[in-house]
Amino acid sequence: MASNSTGRWVERAATTGGGRTYRGQAPVNWYATLVLICVVGLVLIGFSRYQRTHQSTLSSGPPTTSQTWYAALGIDICGKMQPNLPPSSNATKTGLTANGNGVITVHPLNSSESGSNATLATFVSHYKGLELNATTIRYPGRRTYSNGEICPGGTPDAGKTGVVLSVSWPSYTSRGKGTETSGNPQDLQFSNGQLITVAYLPTTSPVPKPPATAVSNLITAITSSSTPSTSTPTSAPTSSTTQKSGGSAK
């Protein structure tokens, strides 16, 4: 008789999910697992966002810290080519430096200057007094020009409104039109043997190449470097073709 009573009690317990004691016990392990999954997910999302927003600091590719490139730079304000930038005074802190003769040396010291980070923006950020962005330009020690301002009297483009831009030619042997930097002028990336002119000019004015002396000094720097290009000629091109401001080469 006792055996039958025990059997019925077990049967009732099974049908009720193990009794009041079992039903009142919280599933701690299940909740802990759920919380762990959520935390891991948030960490992965945060890490992915960090990588995406800081990818420029993880740049790779040329120029590397073991390479040295050279580029010629001219600065044209309202139709008047400015003097070559004086030599950089902080060569121990940056590898992107002005030589004082119209040539920029591009020898990255770290990843923040190498690969896709070897840009005009990086050079400008380390050169005291020089300013260049999408709307303003400033030669060290002189006034700042902003898009839409009128060129002052005494300049070739006096009375005309100007815009900030940068135009480049891939090599000092390049003939024909240069290419205007798309977007922010300071986003222009350096390449070896490149010609660059940053300017504040009316949209109808031609953008000249850097001065002939700067180009000649660029040729000397490249041909006298330890790893010159075997296909690089030793004389500058005779062409003086310029790029019209406000349009990119096709």
CA dist 134 → 161, 168, 191, 205, 206 (Å): 15, 16, 21, 18, 19
pLDDT-derived band at 35 (thresholds 50, 70, 90) equals confident
Residue 215: CA count within 13 A, CB half-sphere: 23
Instruction: Count CA atoms within 13 Å of residue 49 on its CB side.
Output: 6
pLDDT grade, residue 129 (50/70/90)?
Answer: very high
249 domain residue, yes or no: no
Q: Six-digit token pair at 51?
A: 């990588």
Average pLDDT, the chain: 81
Tokens 């990086």: give the residue.
122
94 in the same domain as 73: yes
Whether the CB-CB separation of 94 and 109 falls below 8 Å is answered with yes
Q: Are 140 and 130 in contact (CB under 8 A)?
A: yes
What is the reported pLDDT for 61? 87
CA atoms of 125 and 142, how far apart (whole Å): 17
Q: Provide mean pLDDT across the span 19-46.
A: 66
pLDDT bracket for residue 28 (50, 70, 90): confident
Mean pLDDT of the region 70-90: 97
Please give the tally of structural domains in the chain.
Answer: 2
Domain extent for 91: 62-244
Per-residue pLDDT reduced to its tens digit, 170-227: 999 998 889 999 989 999 999 999 999 999 999 999 999 999 999 999 999 999 985 4
Overall average pLDDT of the 132-157 stretch: 96
pLDDT at position 232: 40
Residues 176 and 77 in one domain: yes
Going by DSSP bridges, is the β-strand pair 144-146/103-106 parallel, antiparallel, or unpaired?
A: unpaired
Number of neighbouring beta carbons within 10 Å of residue 34: 11
- Write the single-letter amino acid at 32: A
The residues, any chain, with a CB within 8 Å of residue 221's CB and separated by 6 or more, are 70, 99, 103, 105
Q: Which residue has the tokens 């000249």?
A: 208
Looking at the fold, whether 71 and 48 belong to one and the same domain comes out as no
- Whether 104 is covered by a domain: the verdict is yes
Q: How far apart are CA 163 and CA 136, in angstroms?
A: 8
Tell me if 18 is assigned to some domain.
yes
The mean pLDDT value for 47-65 works out to 61
Contact 54, 111 (CB under 8 A): no
Q: What is the pLDDT of residue 4?
A: 58
Q: Do both 70 and 181 map to the same domain? A: yes
Pairwise CA distance, residues 137 & 75, whole Å = 10
Cβ neighbourhood burial of 78 (10 Å; 0-12, 13-18, 19+): buried
Q: What is the mean pLDDT of residues 98-107?
A: 97
* Model confidence at 136: pLDDT above 80: yes
* Confidence bin at 24 (pLDDT 50/70/90): low
